[in-house]
């Protein structure tokens, strides 16, 4: 890539050796199809291990009665960061924090298990309808959400 169509030459600074550093994470399969799996700025560094929030989220949303979730990293004195999950369930569903944690334990290694689970009625969204991770992270870090008992 040499730049953006219709943009001035200042965008060329974002291109390095023919590669655009856009912050997306992904992989190619055996048939050379590209799969975008997340954003570099969203990864959680837990004790030197790089965790993908999307991987944890995919496990959580596959559980019965879970409508949506967002996993973000929060500071931890010993590990650097740890994942926490903010979950939206179906109205009237009886989903407990332990159900969420058990689901992650069954399908992923223990380092992926969220430290805390928060239940909310809705996740904040950006103007284009995507989950606003920055807002979720701010809510968690500000302490305005109540941790569900596990």
* Residue 105 is assigned to a structural domain of this protein: yes
Tally the domains of the chain.
2
The pLDDT assigned to 83 comes to 97
* Residue 3 is assigned to a structural domain of this protein: no
The pLDDT assigned to 27 comes to 79
Whether residue 90 sits in one domain with residue 20: no
pTM attached to this predicted model: 0.78
Whether residue 111 sits in one domain with residue 62: yes
Tokens of 11: 């965008």
Q: What is the pLDDT along the chain (150 residues), one digit of tens a residue?
A: 566 677 666 555 566 666 667 777 777 899 999 887 767 778 899 999 999 999 999 999 999 999 999 999 999 999 999 999 999 999 889 999 999 999 999 999 999 999 999 999 999 999 999 999 999 999 998 888 876 655
68 lies in which domain range? 43-142
**CA-CA distances (angstroms) from residue 109 to 41, 112, 147?**
22, 6, 22
Beta-carbon-side half-sphere exposure of residue 138 (alpha carbons within 13 Å): 6
The pLDDT assigned to 5 comes to 73
* Residue 71 is assigned to a structural domain of this protein: yes
Cα torsion 124, 104, 63, 24 to 10°: value is: 50
The pLDDT assigned to 96 comes to 94
Give the CATH number, domain containing residue 16: 2.30.38.10
């Amino acid at each position: 890539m040499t730049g953006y169509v219709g943009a001035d030459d200042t965008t060329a600074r974002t291109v390095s050796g023919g590669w655009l550093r856009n912050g997306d994470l992904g992989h190619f399969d055996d048939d050379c199809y590209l799969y975008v799996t997340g954003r570099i700025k969203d990864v959680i560094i837990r004790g030197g291990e790089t965790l993908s929030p999307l991987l944890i989220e995919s496990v959580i949303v596959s559980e019965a009665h879970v409508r949506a979730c967002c996993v973000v990293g929060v500071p931890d004195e010993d590990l650097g960061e740890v994942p926490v999950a903010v979950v939206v369930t179906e109205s009237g569903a009886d989903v407990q924090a332990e159900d969420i944690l058990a689901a992650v334990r069954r399908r992923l290694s223990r380092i992926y298990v969220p430290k805390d689970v928060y239940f909310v009625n809705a996740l904040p969204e950006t103007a284009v309808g995507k989950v606003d991770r920055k807002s979720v992270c701010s809510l968690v870090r500000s302490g305005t959400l109540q941790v569900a008992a596990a």
